[in-house]
Amino acid sequence: MTNQPLSEKISDLEKLREQARQPGSERSVQRQHDRGKMLARERIEYFLDEGSFNELDMLARHRNPAIPDRPLTDGVITGWGTVDGRKVFVFSQDFTLFGGALGEVFADKIHKLMDLALKVGAPVVGLNDGAGARIQEGPVSLASYGGIFYRNVKASGVTPQISVILGPCAGGAVYSPAMTDFVFMVEETSYMFITGPDVVKTVTGEDVTQQELGGAHAHSAKSGVAAFTAPDDKAVLDDVRYLLSFLPANNMEEPPRAVVEDDPQRLCDELAGLMPDSSNQPYDMRQIIGEVVDDGDYVEYFPQWAQSITCGFARVDGHPVGIVGNNPMFLAGVLDIDSSEKAARFVRVCDAFNVPLVTFVDVPGFLPGVGQEHGGIIRHGAKLLYAYCEATVPRIQVITRKAYGGAYVVMNSKSIGADLAFAWPSAELAVMGATGAVEILHRTEIAEADDPDARKAELVEDYSEKWLNPYVAAERGYVDDVIDPAMTRRKLVEGLELLRTKREELPPRKHGNTPL
């Protein structure tokens, strides 16, 4: 061997590398394709820019004598490449080898990848399609998972971390995706859960399928685990590529600006027509957002969960922004446990990665009820309040209609650090709505009136004219200007340009104590 000519050694190396590129058995490959799923390498090749992938540890093999089969790569493909010319690290679990189960060498490869990504400041995208811990490696597998979790936390808020669930993800394996910034799932073919249907039935007697328990719909509409879903592997990878276009490579960089043709000085003449005449009629805040942002392009975060608030990424004059807005189309736009948590998480992600925040406000208050109070609405609502108070990115508030009570304060008001606040003439800034206020302030007068209903109506009208408008707040500087809705886009463009050089530092501390 040592006396072989170099040319033969190179030939042997190429054969070895070709061997490493091969997936598992034909049967396992066929099963993967029959389920509509791509292979691990196919996913990487589709996701990254063509020819950009640089593989790491292709020749790695496990060292466990209890497992006679020792395929190259050990069931996970790791390396880096580019997405739209920007550096990205990626690992892709290979379900055709050991069912994608994690062992010591498998984990070592991911550890190395995550360490290198943190050193150079680039995102990590994990393509998850594995059966959990490799049972034959016992506690070694469990310790190996711990190494991944530890690195997830070290990189949190430093480089973007994205988890894509493309098949099974169960047991302890779910905790790494749960700690990343975004979780994507594929409808019908992916699932996540701590314990599977069989265990659930044994322990609780509940009969449930894998998809009902932990499928894409369950986690995108009920649990709040998966921010995005797509119908198949290619669609979900396309969505990940697009999401990356809104994010910087790391927390020391600014988000990338895109070239857009939408005129930054465009008037939004359609906005006034979208606002109902009655303050009790619903409308879709997503339509308001679509009129204001570049080309109407709005990538919604958790579109099926906690729908009384909408969050997502868009661009204004080519610059990425994070949008948060109450949506009166659902539960009148109230803040509840889920919507507070959803928005808090989004605000913190934007703040971590230097994405300015624009908040559209139409909030009648927090959702009342025993279930909300006992479920911890105080604690969960405080998460959103804390997230905004802590955010140092540029922050602009636009009040479209109702801005009542403590919920108004929580929604990025000037009093908690908004840099600029604008209100439409339809804005109503008050402790509560007119009817509730009159019933408290004039209870005795109404009760003693000859016609209580008529007197109450008069008082409500008088209260509305005097207090339910933005001008009292404008007099005190709680809003910086009352604007024609058509001017909203211009005001955002100008405000964000002003705030691009904003510098704000938090007091020195180890970390704050978020109300978890």
Q: Kindly give, in sequence order, each residue whose CB lies less than 8 Å from that of residue 27, ignoring residues fewer than 6 positions away.
A: none
CA distance 497 to 489: 12
431, 361, 474, 495 alpha-carbon torsion, rounded to 10°: 160
**C-alpha angle with apex 275: 269 to 277, nearest 5 degrees?**
125
Say how many CA atoms lie within 13 Å of 349 toward its Cβ: 26
**Nearest Cα residue to 313 out of 329, 302, 304, 328:** 302
* CA pair distance 182, 130, nearest whole angstrom: 19
Is 171 annotated as catalytic? yes
Place of tokens 């997936």: 23
- The DSSP result for 139-178, as a single string, is HHHHHHHHHHHHHHHHHTTTS-EEEEE-SEEEGGGGHHHH
Q: What are phi and psi of 198, to 5 degrees?
A: -65, -45
Among 290, 375, 405, 406, the one annotated catalytic = 406
Identified catalytic residue from 147, 172, 224, 417:
172
Angle of helix 233-244 versus helix 40-47 axis, rounded to 10: 40
Residue of 117, 306, 344, 407 with catalytic role: 407
Q: What are the residue numbers of the active site?
A: 171-172, 406-407
